[in-house]
Each structure stands twice: as structure tokens, then as C-alpha cells.
Amino acid sequence: MLMDLMLPSRLQGLFELGDIDSLRDFQGKWQDYVSEFQLTAADTPTLVGILELWFHWHRENDFPEEPLAFAPIHAWRALGQLQAVEALEPMLDNLDLLDEQMDDWSMEDWPVVFGLMGPPVIESLINYLRNQRRREFSRDVAAGGLMQIARRHPDRHAQVVQVLSDQLARHESLAVLNGSILGKLLDLEAVESAEVIERAFAAEVIDESLCGCWMEVREKLGVEGLGITPLRPRTPRSDFFFPGDFLLHTSTIPSVKPISAVNENRKRPSARPLRNHENATVERNDLTPRSRHSIRSRRTEK
């Protein structure tokens, strides 16, 4: 499949960059692919072709050696920086596949990529989030993309908060997804969603190990609440994190247990590039580490 790609010489460097974590600046930001590789919208089809190698390698359970194996990751980051909405459809079409493969790279990066694509992809992400035929963690990636858009485009903040609130108000029996959506609402300081949040706690459809009990969340929001949910003492904080929202530029997170420490039976394709969670970088986040409990680590508990 790789041989089918007709690469301009300037894009061949994407196959030589190698390890992602060694290519961040001191603030943890992604490198500027557009400037470094002189990318334009005309490069989108080629970059999508490189991206699709990732899906092929997953389906075949066969990854090349480094640095070649990192090329699709560089490609999807470049597509995000180009705001190439043409890449959204193949990404969403293959998100369930990557979720089944427990692919941390896509789960962590794609919300940021969707955020870079911006408002044009909002409706597609909303439809994906609401699609109950999609996998739980895949849907959370779409929700993360919406959150990233709201951060980058304040004029879409109210729209995204309403969408996430509406999703939580459906009281689906997916406590982990609901708990992660709650975390996104807290990230967005969605005080206006307090009633929806409290009713979700009352309906017992939120995994409290993600963001805490209603008492903690109420304090975070600075509201009294309706009094329909019992106030219970704080529970011990978790030292795990959900990578899907540790996404972009800022500080380095405290030392936490990587997912692999929780799920030692994770099946990885041979030579598949692994993300080093010990050195992960995070985007600005007002929540405590408790709210970043790894929802993906809970697969083994189901």
C-alpha cells in the first residue's frame, strides 16, 4: 500500500521524522508541519493517503519498523493544522476500528485534530456522538473534539455546552462515557449545566471515579444544587488518567500510572509505536488529576 503513494520529495520527510515525543518544543507543542513541509491544501489527498496507512496496518495487525510507523501520526497532525476537513470522514469511519485495537495515539490526538479543523466539523461530530451504534470510547473522542472546538472558538462555546448537556441528559446506561462528558463540561466551566449534571447523578448514570461525586462537582461549579442527590463525603482520588483529553500544548503532567500498568494484557501489533505516558504533555486543564481517570483502563473491568 505504501508503494501506491506518489509522494512529493518534500513530504518524504514525514516518513523519517520518527518518534513523536522527541519532536515537541519546550512547551510540548506539536511541530509546525505546515511551515516545515511547505504544506498547502493541495497536499491534503496525499496526507490522507498516509493517514490511511494507519488503518491498513491495524487491520492487518502488521506495523513497519520505526521511523516509518510514525508517519501517519505526523500526517493527521498536519491535516489538523491545514484544517483539512476532507480527512474527517475517513477518520470517523475508522474510529471504531482503532478503539477496538485500543489505539492510544488516535484516542489522544484526534480530539485535538478535530479541534483544529474547527466549526465546519461540529455537525459531523454531534452526529457521531449521538450514534448509539458507535463504540463508547469512540463517541468520547467525538465529544473531546467538540470540547476542543469550544476552547478554540469561544463563539461556539454555548453550542458545544448545549450538545454535551443534551447528551448527558439522555441518561444512557454508559456511565463511563457520561462521566467523561461531565469532565468536559467542567473543563468548559459549564455552570449552566448544573441541573442536568445533578439529575444525571441522581439517575446514577455517571461513573464517579472520573470526576468525583456530586458533592465534589457541585463545589467545582460553585452551585447549591436542587437537593435531589445525596451529598456524600469525598472519595479517594485516582492516580490514573484518561489520555483522550491529555491532548496538546502546555505543562507536563505529574507522575501517573500509564494505561499499560493497568491493563498488562493489552494486545499490541508487533512493532507498533507505543506512546510514553510518563512523558505525555497536556493542554490547559482546570480539573484535578481525578477527573482524568483512565476510562480506557476500565475495559478489563467489564
Dump the DSSP string for 178-200. Answer: HHHHHHHHHHTT-GGGHHHHHHH
pLDDT band at 6 (very low <50, low <70, confident <90, very high): confident
pLDDT band at 295 (very low <50, low <70, confident <90, very high): very low
pLDDT band at 4 (very low <50, low <70, confident <90, very high): low
pLDDT of residue 5: 64
Mean pLDDT value across the chain: 79
pLDDT of residue 266: 35
pLDDT band at 274 (very low <50, low <70, confident <90, very high): low
pLDDT of residue 74: 94
This prediction's pTM = 0.78
Which position has the higher pLDDT, 86 or 66? 86
